[in-house]
Amino acid sequence: MRVALFLTCVNDTLYPDTGRAVVKLLTRLGVDVDFPAAQTCCGQPHYNTGYRRQAEPLARHYSDVFGPGLASGDYDAIITPSGSCAAMVRELYPRMGERARAEGRGDRLATTLAPVIPKTYELTEFLVDVLKVTDVGASYPHKVTYHPTCHGLRSLGLGDRPLQLLRAVKGLELAELPGAQECCGFGGTFAVKNSDVSSAMGADKVRNAESTGADVLCAADNSCLMHIGGTMSRLKVGMRPVHIAEILASTEEEPHV
Amino acid sequence: MSGTFVGMPAFPKAAHDAVRNTTLRANLKHATHTIRDKRARAVAELDDWAALREAGKQIKDHTLRHLDHYLVQLEESVTAAGGTVHWARDADEANRIVTRLVRETGESEVVKVKSMATQEIGLNEHLEAEGIRAYETDLAELIVQLGDDRPSHILVPAIHRNRGEIRDIFAQEMGRWGRPAPEGLTDTPAELAEAARLHLREKFLRAKVGVSGANFMVAETGTLVVVESEGNGRMCLTLPETLISVVGIEKIVPTWQDLEVFLQTLPRSSTAERMNPYTSTWTGTTDGDGPRTFHLVLIDNGRTDTLADEVGRQALRCIRCSACLNVCPVYERAGGHAYGSVYPGPIGAILSPQLRGTASEIDASLPYASSLCGACYEVCPVAIDIPEVLVHLRERVVEGGEVTLRGTKVTLKPAKGHAAERAAMRAARWAFTHPAVLATGQRMASRTRRFHPRTVPGPGRAWTATRDLPQVPAESFRDWWQRTDGGKEGQK
Ligand code: SF4
């Protein structure tokens, strides 16, 4: 199995550790990972802020970067450690194609985007559904609570896949997060445009996490973790935000620090 | 001030104070969490919920697609049953029609059953200015009216009030509107309910004119339907001599059979009841029973314009169950008043900017009053994809575009105040379509990382007021990948 890693612009720039963890994890599971260097951003920030037409060239770019490798059989899938970016491709790219058609601009966009849409997977979804593993041989001796991000939960329908993976991790104690399904308040530009409400939501999420007594809060999306982690840091809560990939990559020989 | 929302500040400003009001937040949190849990249980009881939801969506979509046909059919059925139909293009016209109809009865008082349509058009204020007093008879509406307040929830307009506040409002205000509250009124629910009952009973028995809304209108028979919990609505519908029902044109369904879907989904979604206590239906007039005269005022007020929008029109499927409010984390913290409309919460955030346009500050800010978490879409019994419409309306705000206003296609200019954001989005798009530019930017950020402050000015300030920024890493992933050949060079 050979996959292309779509790391996303946020991870690439701010959270390279997550990328290294994904490479380490997938390699350990016998998957060949490539990182097409021309990749940038899926267009989600533009799309969700109302700049759909500006998101179109980014979607085309995504397709140009990953499409040929899929077509030639170089890659079997595109993997991303971000629920919201996977949701952007899988849920919103089709919609962008439809809108372009409805606006009388023909099928070009839809046709260009079509091949990459079904082949883009969020990491935990890929592990459980495609590789069919839940025990990835990880070891992580910490008390962890899991925040299912909105896009992972509702757009992708990840369900308990991430939890299945976490439960199989050696030494990991899983603490249930009260109000887990509630949004953490990030929401991209929402965090800035409606900062008061966003902060209140973030603070409630952090208080709920704190009540579990866990020392780590994990999620499958660094954007949400940035917001939650930034709130934890400001509220001086002794918890760390960690991407689930870093937990799954951690082993006894090479523990995640 | 009650009822009108003109000149409201933008949502973030209105929400700013609400977020800091700890009593309000506690009241809202308690109320919304209780009802959302109950709703989830009530919905889980039905194993065909998904099919009911789809059926509701299909019926509404079909009806909206053939709205012209069904409205004409409705008019014919209502007329044949002895009623009179009036058409109102906007709020002004609707208010004028109702005022004239009340005047023609020679009365100067009306009793009202909870109606969002009349709140939307500001009927009470209009009647008041014309010397006609309108008495709200729904318990929560009564609280709002006596308190000179505004509704803050679709189903529970006084959700922001607690029992102590209600007691005070009853004790101080009831006397000004009619029968005063009993001496020594306490805040026990039974006493409060009894005070309201005595106060309202007097109104019901005296009133000659009733004003109502409707949850549904059945085209084939001209029947109107109100779904309620208290029975006060039924009194308003049956006791007066003249009944004037004011209803939005989208409330129509083709046949009685269609009601079977909504009479299951509406109560479970709204009050978490298997069935609501009172379902009243009325068809024209009948000798010796109910009102002698029946008028139906059908209001458009932006609905056909909304219908012209392919993406936004799904908002007209709404059956006003309020489930989306109760799950919305933004509503829970900002409260209903921040939305500046009788339609608060997620549905309000997409309905108001469509019915009223995006010209005002509050209407232009509403599409952003959401983190797009999708909880509203998940619970909506008619599957309105609220996040999709929010993003669609954001596009209208920042990029302008073609919309239908009063039946004519016009091209909107982008709203003011988004120029910097638009420029930033363009710049980002440019960098993101030029990977080398992105890589250079990342390297610059990494090299200067020691100088990055943890709080920043400009638009970033809103972020750093309550959250710390992450530290930029020493090396981006793409640089690491290149340097180590995908980690193969050993080097971590
Ligand atoms: S949008 Fe859906 S959930 Fe919200 S009030 Fe309307 S029908 Fe109910």
The pLDDT of residue B183 = 93
Q: Which residues of A89-104 are buried (b: 16+ CB within 10 A; e: fewer)?
A: bbbbbebbbebbeeee
C-alpha span between B470 and B346 (Å, rounded): 31
C-alpha span between A165 and B384 (Å, rounded): 33
Residue of B374, B462, B481 with shortest CB distance to A150: B374
Residue nearest to atom 8 of ligand 1 (CA): B321
User: Is any ligand 1 atom within 6 A of the Cβ of residue B319?
Assistant: yes
The answer to whether residues A212 and A175 touch, using CB atoms and an 8 Å cutoff, is yes
**How does pLDDT run across A112-122, given as a tens digit for each residue?**
999 999 999 99
C-alpha span between B204 and B289 (Å, rounded): 16
| Contact call for B370 and A187, based on CB within 8 A | yes
- Cβ contacts of B424 within 8 Å, gap of 6 or more: none
Q: What is the number of helices (H) and of strands (E) in chain B?
A: 23, 12
Instruction: Count A/B contacts: CB-CB distance under 8 Å.
Output: 199
**Nearest CA to B400 among A187, A55, A52?**
A52
Closest A-chain CA to B365: A193
Residue of B391, B397, B445 with shortest CB distance to A48: B391
Q: What would you report as the CA-atom Rg of chain B, rounded to the nearest whole angstrom? A: 26
Q: What is the DSSP string of B11-64?
A: HHHHHHHHHH-HHHHHHHHHHHHHHHHHHHHHHHT-TTHHHHHHHHHHHHHHHH
Which residue out of B43, B61, B320 has the highest number of ligand 1 atoms within 8 Å of its CB and is therefore the one to mutate? B320
The two structure tokens encoding residue B305: 């314009």
The two structure tokens encoding residue A8: 């996303």
Can you say whether the dihedral through the CA atoms of A59, A62, A66, A68 is positive or negative?
Answer: positive
User: Is any ligand 1 atom within 6 A of the Cβ of residue B384?
Assistant: yes
**Gap from CA of B156 to ligand 1 centroid (Å):** 14
| Contact call for B329 and A183, based on CB within 8 A | yes
Pick out chain A residues at pLDDT < 50: none
| Contact call for B478 and A188, based on CB within 8 A | no
**Nearest CA to B18 among B363, B365, B328, B333?**
B333
Residuewise pLDDT in 10s, chain B (492 residues): 334 465 678 999 999 988 988 888 888 899 999 999 999 999 999 999 999 999 999 999 999 999 999 999 999 999 999 999 999 999 999 999 999 999 999 999 999 997 999 999 999 999 999 999 999 999 889 999 999 988 889 888 888 888 899 999 999 999 999 999 999 999 999 999 999 999 999 999 999 999 999 999 999 999 999 999 888 999 999 999 999 999 999 999 999 999 999 999 999 999 999 999 999 999 999 988 899 999 999 999 999 999 999 999 999 999 999 999 999 999 999 999 999 999 999 999 999 999 999 989 999 999 999 999 999 999 999 999 999 999 999 999 999 988 998 889 999 988 877 877 888 888 888 878 888 777 787 777 777 776 676 666 666 677 788 888 888 888 999 999 999 988 887 544
Q: Which residues of B451-469 are buried (b: 16+ CB within 10 A; e: fewer)?
A: eeeeeeeeeeebbbebbbb
**Gap from CA of B293 to ligand 1 centroid (Å):** 33
The distance from CA A77 to its chain's CA centroid, rounded to whole angstroms, is 15
The answer to whether residues B298 and B249 touch, using CB atoms and an 8 Å cutoff, is yes
Report the relative pairing of strands B408-412 and B401-405 from DSSP bridges. Answer: antiparallel
The pLDDT of residue B492 = 47
Closest A-chain CA to B310: A102
**How does pLDDT run across B442-467, given as a tens digit for each residue?**
777 777 776 676 666 666 677 788 88
C-alpha span between A257 and A21 (Å, rounded): 12
| Contact call for A203 and B466, based on CB within 8 A | yes
User: Is any ligand 1 atom within 6 A of the Cβ of residue B381?
Assistant: yes
| Contact call for B463 and A155, based on CB within 8 A | no
C-alpha span between B389 and B385 (Å, rounded): 7
**Gap from CA of B348 to ligand 1 centroid (Å):** 9
Report the relative pairing of strands B223-228 and B401-405 from DSSP bridges. Answer: unpaired
The pLDDT of residue B2 = 36
| Contact call for B467 and A234, based on CB within 8 A | yes
Residue of B11, B399, B432 with shortest CB distance to A58: B432
Which residue out of B269, B316, B339 has the highest number of ligand 1 atoms within 8 Å of its CB and is therefore the one to mutate? B269
**Nearest CA to B353 among B323, B395, B411?**
B395
C-alpha span between A158 and A122 (Å, rounded): 9
For testing contact with chain B, the best of A198, A237, A239 (most B CBs within 10 A): A198
C-alpha span between B377 and B256 (Å, rounded): 27
- If one counts every other C-beta atom within 10 angstroms of the C-beta of residue A50, the result is 27
C-alpha span between B132 and B371 (Å, rounded): 43
Question: H helices of B340-451, where?
Answer: 345-355, 361-365, 375-379, 386-399, 419-432, 435-447
| Contacting residues of A for B415, CB less than 8 Å apart | none
**Nearest CA to B15 among A197, A118, A57, A177?**
A197
The pLDDT of residue B1 = 31
Q: What is the DSSP string of B425-463?
A: HHHHHHHHT-HHHHHHHHHHHHHTGGG--SS-SGGGHHH
User: Is any ligand 1 atom within 6 A of the Cβ of residue B375?
Assistant: no
Question: H helices of A29-51, where?
Answer: 44-49
The answer to whether residues A44 and A56 touch, using CB atoms and an 8 Å cutoff, is no
Q: For residue B419, with 0-12 CB atoms within 10 Å meaning exposed, 13-18 middle and 19 or more buried, which class applies?
A: exposed
Q: What is the pTM of this model?
A: 0.94
The reply to whether ipTM tops 0.85 is yes
Residue nearest to atom 6 of ligand 1 (CA): B318
The distance from CA B21 to its chain's CA centroid, rounded to whole angstroms, is 22
User: Is any ligand 1 atom within 6 A of the Cβ of residue B324?
Assistant: yes
User: Is any ligand 1 atom within 6 A of the Cβ of residue B379?
Assistant: yes
Q: What is the DSSP string of A213-231?
A: T-SEEEES-HHHHHHHHHH
| Contact call for A51 and B425, based on CB within 8 A | yes
User: Is any ligand 1 atom within 6 A of the Cβ of residue B389?
Assistant: no
Can you say whether the dihedral through the CA atoms of B113, B116, B117, B118 is positive or negative?
Answer: positive
**Residue A146 forms contact with B (CB below 8 Å):** no
**Nearest CA to A193 among B26, B347, B472, B349?**
B349
User: Is any ligand 1 atom within 6 A of the Cβ of residue B225?
Assistant: no
Closest B-chain CA to A50: B395
